[in-house]
Amino acid sequence: MSRNITITIEPDWKGQLAKNAKQAFIGKKLGEKLSFASPELFFSKLTANRWALVNALQGSGEMGVREVARKVERDVRRVHDDLQVLLELGLIEKTAEGKVLCPYADIHMDMHMRAA
């Protein structure tokens, strides 16, 4: 079964969380979601280097940190630090063997800008 995730910027994340809980309670399947309170927070956590790591891992199966670093041609220590952030966000997962993988077949971005 392939997993999908939607990444959003939701200033009222608490309200959206309550809405999602109500929908889940009535049995509506919501899928996996990662929400950020602001564009600034989104871009501080999901930098270009971190997106490159997600891209390198997506569909590649389990990989060790050194293998990932070689694939993206970056320093192992910096790659390790960026992988830790991605693990905290839930965009990648760690296996029992200590390797990392991106479990998502599809990552959807949903962002809106509205006039103030």
> So what's the pLDDT on residue 17?
61
> So what's the pLDDT on residue 97?
95
Distance CA 92, CA 84 (A): 9
pTM: 0.81
> So what's the pLDDT on residue 110?
85
CATH topology of domain 3-110: Arc Repressor Mutant, subunit A (1.10.10)
Residue ranges, the chain, pLDDT below 50? none
Q: Are 65 and 83 in contact (CB under 8 A)?
A: yes
Q: Are 5 and 91 in contact (CB under 8 A)?
A: yes
